[in-house]
Every structure is written in structure tokens, then in C-alpha cells.
């Protein structure tokens, strides 16, 4: 029997200044802007960027190829997805099949939302428990599964 142990923690992260992190977390290979807050039980993978003054609440997951703008709020348990199982199976390590997510500035994402690979413009509110499956080009309040504009 082979057992592989990898320890969570904070590894190879660029901090832009004044970042508050509540451990335990698993944050690696990413870029965190100044005056950010990262709650406990958050995972931020490599090649993720977080803009300044952004808060990420507990139990959230930001996968590779995610970019979050400035002055954003990511609620508890928000999940970002980069593999949409396009061929009916996991892309696995084939990153050419993964898709990026770009979140604009002043975006608020409610707890337990799921964000598929999309672009969300500035000044958007996503209601708690929503599933975002398409790009959002117009500021406003969106909610539901899939999201609709209020």
C-alpha cells in the first residue's frame, strides 16, 4: 500500500501587502492583492490572481485560471470550476481543456454559489446559492440556477 501525504499551507504566494489569513488554508502559486482577507478552509490554486481589498470567506475554492478583481466579496463556500467535462469526462491534467474565469471589480458573490468558467463584469451581485453558467456583461443583481437578472 502506498500512502502519499501532501501538507496544506501557504506556498509560493506573492502577497502585495497587508493580507489577513485565517488558517488552516491551502494557498499556493497565486498572487494576492493588498488589504485582502482570506478566511479559514479556503483553497486558492496556482495561477489565480486576487485584486486588492477583496474578501474571501471560509470554505471557498478558487481553481487555477481564476482572476478576481478589486473590492470583491466571495461568500462562504463559493466554488469556482475550470473543467466543464466537455467530452463527458474529466479533463484531468490536460489543462488545454480547462477554461478561465474572470471576475470584474466590485463583484459580490453570495455563499454557496458555483461559478463555471465565465466572465463577470464590474458591479455585479450574485445571490446566495446561485449557479453562474454564462457570461454577465451588464451590472446588476443576478440569482438562481442558472442565474437570471433581477
3-state secondary structure 39-80: CCCCEECCCCEECCCCEECCCCEECCCEEECCCCEECCCCEE
d(CA 146, CA 69): 23
What average pLDDT does the segment 20-31 reach? 97
Q: Which of 137, 134, 76, 145 is nearest to 109 (CA)?
A: 76
Q: What is the CATH number of domain 10-83+97-149?
A: 2.160.10.10
H or E stretch covering 144? strand 140-144
pLDDT (tens digit, 9 = 90+) per residue, 42-72? Answer: 999 999 999 999 999 999 999 999 999 999 9
Return the pLDDT at 91.
86
Q: Is the pLDDT of residue 8 over 90?
A: no
Compute the CA torsion angle 48, 43, 79, 107 (nearest 10 deg): -50
pLDDT at 5 exceeding the cut of 80: no
Q: What is the mean pLDDT of residues 90-116?
A: 94
Domain spans, the chain:
10-83+97-149
Selected residue with higher pLDDT from 150 and 68: 68
Q: What is the pTM of this model?
A: 0.94
Looking up cell 488558517 gives 23
Judged against a pLDDT cut of 80, whether residue 89 lies above it is answered with yes
Amino acid at each position: 500500500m502506498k500512502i502519499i501525504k501532501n501538507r496544506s499551507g501557504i506556498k509560493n504566494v506573492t502577497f502585495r501587502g497587508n493580507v489577513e489569513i485565517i488558517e488552516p488554508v491551502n494557498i499556493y502559486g497565486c498572487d494576492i492583492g493588498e488589504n485582502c482577507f482570506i478566511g479559514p478552509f479556503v483553497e486558492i490554486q496556482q495561477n489565480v490572481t486576487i485584486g486588492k481589498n477583496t474578501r474571501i470567506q471560509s470554505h471557498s475554492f478558487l481553481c487555477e485560471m481564476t482572476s478576481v478583481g478589486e473590492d470583491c466579496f466571495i461568500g462562504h463556500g463559493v466554488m469556482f470550476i475550470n473543467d466543464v467535462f466537455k467530452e463527458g469526462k474529466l479533463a484531468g491534467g490536460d489543462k488545454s481543456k480547462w477554461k478561465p474565469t474572470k471576475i470584474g471589480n466590485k463583484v459580490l458573490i453570495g455563499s454557496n454559489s458555483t461559478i463555471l468558467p465565465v466572465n463577470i463584469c464590474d458591479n455585479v451581485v450574485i445571490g446566495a446559492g446561485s449557479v453562474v453558467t454564462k457570461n454577465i456583461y451588464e451590472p446588476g443583481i443576478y440569482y438562481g440556477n442558472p442565474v437570471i437578472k433581477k
